[in-house]
Amino acid sequence: MGRSRSTVNFLRIVMSTPLPRLGHPDLVFGLGLRTVHYTHILEEEPDIDWFEIISENYMDSQGRPRHVLNRIAERYPLVMHGVSLSIGSTDPLDHTYLKKLKKLAAEIKPHWVSDHLCWTGVAGKNTHDLLPMLLTEHSLNHVIERIRIVQDVLERRFVFENPSSYVGFTGSTLTEWEFLTRMAVEADCGLLLDVNNVYVSSRNHEFDPEEFIDAIPANRVVQIHLAGHTDCDTHLIDTHDHPVIDQVWDLYRKAVARCGPVSTLLEWDANIPPFPDLHAEVLKAKHQLRPESERVKEPGEDLAKTDSSSVPHPLHHNKVEVQ
Amino acid sequence: MKHNDLDRVQRWMHAVITHPDGIVAGADADKARELLDAGAGNLESIVTRSTHLTAAERLAIYGNAYYSRLIDCTGEVFPVLKRTLGEEVFNGFVFGYLQNYPSTSYTLHHLGRNFVGYLSETRPEDAQWSDFLIDLARLEWEIYDVFDGPGLEEKESFEFESLLEIDPARWLNLRFKTAPCLRLLTTKYPVNNHYTLVRGTDEAIEIPFPGPEPENIAISRRDYVVRRYHLSLPQYVLLTELQKGEPLGIALESCADAAQNDPSINLEHDLTNWFSYWSSEQSFFENISGESESQFS
Ligand SMILES: [Fe+2]
């Protein structure tokens, strides 16, 4: 005998209402793993909840970066964050890249693997930038179809981040949050909500960032990014070289109120402060979410507020050690 | 106009933001106009403006970032060449390079792989200094490549004593498997020395180009740190032959030929020292084998 209609309906509801964070754990507050901090982390074993790694920096590494990663993986929870999937490009998916991504994931066992809703190049060329999508029904279907392929190949749900953007297209017919929401639900993938990117894009494209936060499917948010940016008056640039500003903290609190506690990562990629200063910034984030937790040390007042060259989304590169 | 065609919009934007002369020139160039015939005067038919920025100004954020990020990145691969040339001249070379060899890889680690070739292709006929720059770029690329490539750190180390345990009658047939991270380089200019000098000198101090003087260099890695070794010509010849897979006997013949005119070398005495040192460095040899595997099993 088949299942009763009510059981089918119940299953349908359960299936279409994902668990909070798609069932992923709340890893609490993490930091991006950067070359300049390797020695400190290995020697001091700082009390950081988890690290996010840039997948491309390790997928081919047979030298020190990979050696260090293996040691860190023994001690800390990890997540993988890529910059080269180019899910929105009209170029074919790079299956060599996917294979390497899958292999790295099998070896270091991250809690999840993410990249960005963007394209990085076309016609075989890579700009190594996170370029903004034309937001139409057609491009949405294009992206959904490709996410399904990626998830099939990797045999796991993928997670996509909203990037900062500086141009919009007259041909776009959807808002970014409509696009992300439909993409996440229809492709059944996770979201990495970068609240700084929401803020940067909201200023650049003159929309209400709260509308963005209110719209996204809360249970699909498995991770949040926090970062600093550069205010150029006429526009903002996502430089990851400053402390997080108050308005972004406000958005963060709003996001957490909607999504519940979510693994949160502080990104800092240019003018990287010494590890203890970054650690202090992480503790501040912890305090924002759980004020009753330990007394928070404010980050050093002397944090370098040096000139920024204002290049969006700084690059990730391994530093060579040579005698 | 197909301003809502994903493929056209992407190809158009790519052509516009990577144009070496900027957004306006990029939008007016045939490549972009064949995709979306807007031209610089009509950019706002494709890209929206904001209250404060025009479409061209917004696109320029991506355009400026494109060259600046990749030039910076290439500078990290060739730091000594960058300091030797000065930032402006170096960046000018890389700007030309990126136009001829744009990245086609998912990883930035491949970004500099054609730079030495590009410098050679564009080498001015009469300029000697360009050989120096090419040699220096070769050295830095090898260092960069060795740093993150395969090495011997996770393998059992090769001991000099294992050589001594083998019947000397068989030595001439031995083949050495050299370390996967061992690179042997011969240069027209003493770039290894220059590299050391630049790295040991304050940024503010300018270091002159050296005069031509052939140099043989080994680059390898131990404990995940890249190491550089100056080699005499006979050492270079010997290691090159061994790396090619020649048996020790053949390699020694070539080595002896190379040592003929060098009175400072006494091969009978020096060879033991060389092999002992190379073995102790754990960055030259992975293992040895005879003509058939069974001999030393
Ligand atoms: Fe982010």
Residues of chain B with C-beta less than 8 angstroms from the C-beta of A171? 3-5, 9, 46
Whether B130 maps to a domain, the answer reads: no
Q: What's the confidence (pLDDT) of residue B263? A: 86
Q: CB distance B224–A206 less than 8 Å?
A: no
Last residue of a domain, one of B66, B94, B122: B122
Q: How close is the nearest chain B Cα to the Cα of A17, in Å?
A: 31
Same domain, B52 and B114: yes
Q: CB distance A129–B47 less than 8 Å?
A: no
At B175, list the tokens. Answer: 């083949």
Q: pLDDT higher for B205 or B13? A: B13
Q: What percent of chain B is helix, strand and coil (3-state, nearest 5)? A: 55, 10, 35
Last residue of a domain, one of B88, B122, B156: B122
Q: What are phi and psi of B167, to 5 degrees?
A: -55, 120
Query: Count of domains in chain B?
Result: 2
Same domain, B192 and B117: no
- Measured in Å, residue A222 CA sits from the centre of ligand 1 at 13
Burial of residue A66 (CB within 10 Å: 0-12, 13-18, 19+) is buried
Instruction: Determine the residue among B14, B31, B59, B107 to mutate to test chain A binding: the one whose Cβ has the most chain A Cβ atoms within 10 Å.
Output: B107
Q: What is the DSSP letter of A188?
A: T
Same domain, B96 and B181: no
Per-residue pLDDT of chain A (323 residues; tens, 9 = 90+): 455 667 766 666 556 678 889 989 999 999 999 999 999 999 999 999 999 999 999 999 999 999 999 999 999 999 999 999 999 999 999 999 999 999 999 999 999 999 999 999 999 999 999 999 999 999 999 999 999 999 999 999 999 999 999 999 999 999 999 999 999 999 999 999 999 999 999 999 999 999 999 999 999 999 999 989 999 999 999 998 888 889 999 999 999 999 998 999 988 888 888 898 888 888 877 776 655 433 332 333 333 333 335 666 545 566 788 87
Same domain, B280 and B149: yes
Q: Which residue segment(s) compose the domain that B106 sits in?
A: 3-122
Same domain, B52 and B168: no
Least confident interval from A60-64, A135-139, B69-73, B208-212: B208-212
Whether B272 maps to a domain, the answer reads: yes
Q: CB distance A128–B9 less than 8 Å?
A: no
Tell me how far apart the alpha carbons of residues A313 and A267 are, in angstroms, rounded to a whole number.
Answer: 10
Contacts of A47 (CB under 8 A, 6+ apart): none
Nearest to B14 by CA among B100, B102, B92, B94: B102
Whether B136 maps to a domain, the answer reads: no
Q: Identify the residue whose tokens are 């075989």.
A: A124
Same domain, B72 and B156: no
Same domain, B106 and B148: no
Residues of chain A with C-beta less than 8 angstroms from the C-beta of B51? 206
State the pLDDT confidence band at B292, using cuts at 50, 70 and 90: very low
Q: How close is the nearest chain A Cα to the Cα of B61, in Å?
A: 7
Whether B24 maps to a domain, the answer reads: yes
ipTM field: 0.91
- Average pLDDT for residues B281-290, to the nearest whole number? 91
The pTM of the full predicted model, rounded to 2 decimals, is 0.90
Whether B137 maps to a domain, the answer reads: no
Single-letter amino acid, residue A191: L
Whether B223 maps to a domain, the answer reads: yes
Candidates B4, B104, B227; nearest CB to A125: B104
Q: CB distance B104–A171 less than 8 Å?
A: no
Residues of chain B with C-beta less than 8 angstroms from the C-beta of A134? 4, 6, 9-10
Same domain, B216 and B248: yes
Q: What's the confidence (pLDDT) of residue A196? A: 96
CA distances from B178 to B74, B157, B161, B166, B287 (A): 29, 12, 17, 18, 7
- Pairing verdict, β B215-222 and B225-231: antiparallel
Same domain, B187 and B104: no
Whether B135 maps to a domain, the answer reads: no
Q: Is A126 on the interface with B (CB under 8 A)?
A: yes
Residues of chain A with C-beta less than 8 angstroms from the C-beta of B102? 125-126
Q: Is A274 on the interface with B (CB under 8 A)?
A: no
Same domain, B249 and B192: yes
Single-letter amino acid, residue A17: T
Same domain, B25 and B110: yes
Q: Counting every residue, how long is chain A?
A: 323
Whether B273 maps to a domain, the answer reads: yes
Tell me how far apart the alpha carbons of residues A316 and A97 are, in angstroms, rounded to a whole number.
Answer: 17
Question: What's the pLDDT tens digit per position in B113-171?
Answer: 999 999 999 988 777 789 999 999 999 999 999 999 999 999 988 888 888 888 888 98
Buried b (16+ CB within 10 A) or exposed e, A231-254: eeeebbbbbbbbbbbeebbebbee
Same domain, B146 and B291: yes
Tell me how far apart the alpha carbons of residues A85 and A98 are, in angstroms, rounded to a whole number.
Answer: 8
